[in-house]
Structure 1
């Protein structure tokens, strides 16, 4: 859990993914379209990936990826991010966290 929290706090937008996850790629593309450059941590390519995946599940990530942090805070999974985007508040969250500069 400490490694997840540490990585999540190092950049304004952080996405924990798996390289084979299509929703992970979609969320990453959405962030880039909005002007953010998130830190991407692929759990299936990290030696501590399984431990981090278990920690994300303990945070309530079901499925475990994508798990998105904005401003060091856990925001949710792909459905949460899509909901924020549809209601129009995702971009402002990214701006407030310093992930997007105007």
Structure 2
């Protein structure tokens, strides 16, 4: 859990993913389209990936990836991020966290 906190606070936007996850790819593409350059942590390529995946699940992220943090705060998984994007609040969250500038 501590490693998740540490990594999620190092950059304005952070996404925990797996390289084989199509929803992870979609969320990363959405962030890039909005102009953000998130830190991406591929859990299946990290030696502590399994432990981080369990920590994400304990935070309520089910499925465990993608897990999105903006401004150091847990935003949620793909459905949460898509909902925020559709209602227009994701872009404002990214602006407030200084992940994008307008």
Any unmatched runs of 5+ in structure 2? none
1:1-102 equivalences under 5 Å are 1-102=1-102
Using the TM superposition, give the Cα deviation of residue 61 of structure 1 relative to its aligned residue in structure 2, in angstroms: 0.6
CA distance in 1, matches of 2:51, 2:82: 27
Using the TM superposition, give the Cα deviation of residue 101 of structure 1 relative to its aligned residue in structure 2, in angstroms: 1.3
Q: TM-score, normalised by structure 2?
A: 0.99
SS in 2 for 1:15: strand
SS in 1 for 2:11: coil
Runs of 4+ in structure 1 off by over 3 angstroms are none
Query: How many residues get paired?
Result: 102
CA distance in 2, matches of 1:88, 1:74: 18
CA distance in 2, matches of 1:80, 1:61: 10
Q: TM-score, normalised by structure 1?
A: 0.99
